[in-house]
Amino acid sequence: MAKADMLGESLWDAYSNKVTTLMNNPQHQGEISEAEAESRGNQLIVADFGAESCGDAVRLYWEIDPSNDMIVNSKFKSFGCGTAIASSDIMTELCIGKTVDQAVKITNIDVEFALRDDPDTPAVPPQKMHCSVMAYDVIKKAAGLYKGVDAESFEEEIIVCECARVSLSTLREVIRLNDLTTIEQITDYTKAGGFCKSCIRPGGHEEREWYLVDILRDTRKEMDEEKMKAAADAGATGDFANMTLVQQIKAVDAVIDESVRQFLIMDGGDMEVIDIKKSDEYIDIYIRYLGACNGCASSATGTLYAIESTLKEKLSKNIRVLPI
C-alpha cells in the first residue's frame, strides 16, 4: 500500500525516513530471557510503561552487567502505533553501552533527535511526540527496578513539558532572564509546548497539572510586583544611586509601567531602558523610543520632559533621561 493511501500525503510527509524505516524494520525488537542473561553472568530487568493519552505501551528489557552497572544488551516490545515502534527501537539503541545512571539521563528529546533525518526537521508530527516517545518514563522505571527505588526518585523537579522534559524552575528562570512575554517566545527558548502542545493551555491532547499560560502569567505578575517594590523602596529610601544596575533598571521600569507607559501605548508607541550610567553629577538613563514614539517631535520635548520629571520625583533628583 502506498504511503499516501495509508495516512494521506501531508501527514505521511511529517515523518522522517528513519521513522518510516524503523516502523517496518526495527533493529532491537524482541525479548531477553532471564536464563539467557544469567548464562552470561548478567541481571535481567523488565520494565513496562503505558501512555494513558493514546493507549500505546512499551516493554523494555535491560541485560545489565552487575559488576559495573553497564547495559550490555537491550530489547523492546511495543504495543501501539508505528511511531511507538520506531521511537522504542531508537530508545533501546541509545541505552546499550551506557551505565544505568547514564541511561536515566536519556530524554524524549534525545530519542526524537536521533530519529531525525536532519537536525532542523522534527521526526514526527507534534501530536505524536508525547504519546509515542515514552523513553524517559520507561527508562526511569527500569532504573528504579534495578536500584530498588521508586522511579520518581530520579525526578528532582516538576516537569511541565513531558515532551521536551522542561521543568517548572527552568521555565520561570528563562522567562525572568529573557523578559519573555509570549508563549511563542517560551517555545523558541525552551522547546516547551513545541510538540504535542498539551502543556500550553487546558484542552490539549492530555490534561496537565501545569500550563505555560498560567506559568507565564504568574511569573510576569511576580516580576511586576518586584519592580513595584523596587521602585517603592527606592523612593522611600532615596537610595536609587546605590542600587545595582539590575535593581535600577527594575525600579525605572516599575515607575514607567505605573505612570508613563500607558500614555505612550495610547499614542501607538512605547519605550525601553537601554542602559544606566552614573557620573559625579548625574545618573544618566538611556532609553529607546518604540513604535510611534520613535521620530515623534514630542519625544525630544514634552514626552521626554514627562518621563524625566516622573523618574526624578519617584527615584532620584539627579536622574537625566537621554534618548538614543
Instruction: Supply the CATH number for residue 95's domain.
Output: 3.90.1010.10
Whether residue 80 is contained in a domain is answered as yes
Q: What is the pLDDT of residue 108?
A: 76
C-alpha cell, 324: 538614543
Separation of alpha carbons 159 and 107, rounded Å? 12
Q: What is the pLDDT of residue 9?
A: 47
Same domain, 36 and 143: yes
Same domain, 195 and 239: no
Residue 322 CB burial class (10 angstroms; 0-12, 13-18, ≥19) = middle
Same domain, 38 and 131: yes
**43-50 and 57-65: which strand pairing?**
antiparallel
Same domain, 106 and 184: no
Whether residue 116 is contained in a domain is answered as yes
Q: What is the pLDDT of residue 201?
A: 95
Q: CB-based contacts of 173: which residues, under 8 Å, 6+ apart?
A: none
pLDDT digits (tens, 9 = 90+) for 171-217: 998 899 888 999 999 998 888 998 888 999 999 878 899 999 999 99
Q: What is the pLDDT of residue 196?
A: 83
Same domain, 291 and 276: yes
Same domain, 26 and 132: yes
Whether residue 217 is contained in a domain is answered as no
Q: What is the CATH number of the domain that holds 163?
A: 1.10.10
Of 155, 179, 197, the position where a domain reaches its end is: 155
Residue 199's DSSP bridge partners are none
Whether residue 216 is contained in a domain is answered as no
Same domain, 309 and 182: no
Same domain, 162 and 206: yes
Separation of alpha carbons 86 and 84, rounded Å? 6
Q: What is the pLDDT of residue 79?
A: 84
Provide the 10 A C-beta neighbour count for residue 184: 11
Q: What is the pLDDT of residue 4?
A: 39
Q: Half-sphere exposure (CA, 13 Å, Cβ side) for 17?
A: 2
What is the span of the domain harbouring residue 300? 232-323
**Phi/psi of residue 87, nearest 5 degrees:** -70, -35
- Quick one: DSSP state of residue 115? T
Residue 54 annotated in active site: yes
Where the chain has pLDDT below 50, the residues are 1-9
Same domain, 138 and 279: no
Whether residue 50 is contained in a domain is answered as yes
Whether residue 39 is contained in a domain is answered as yes
Q: What is the pLDDT of residue 7?
A: 44
Q: What is the pLDDT of residue 147?
A: 94
Same domain, 33 and 140: yes
Residue 161 annotated in active site: no
Whether residue 224 is contained in a domain is answered as no
The continuous run of DSSP H or E covering 275 comes out as: strand 269-278
Same domain, 197 and 300: no
Q: Is 72 helix (H, G, I), strand (E, B) or coil?
A: strand
Q: Is the dihedral of CA 183, 10, 111, 134 positive or negative?
A: positive
Whether residue 227 is contained in a domain is answered as no
**166-167 and 159-161: which strand pairing?**
antiparallel
Separation of alpha carbons 310 and 314, rounded Å? 6
C-alpha cell, 287: 532609553
Candidate list 95, 131, 199, 293, residue with the active-site label:
131
Of 118, 136, 155, the position where a domain reaches its end is: 155
What total of structural domains would you count in the chain?
A: 3
Q: What is the pLDDT of residue 236?
A: 65
Same domain, 184 and 109: no
Q: Is the dihedral of CA 166, 169, 174, 180 positive or negative?
A: positive
Q: What is the pLDDT of residue 308?
A: 96
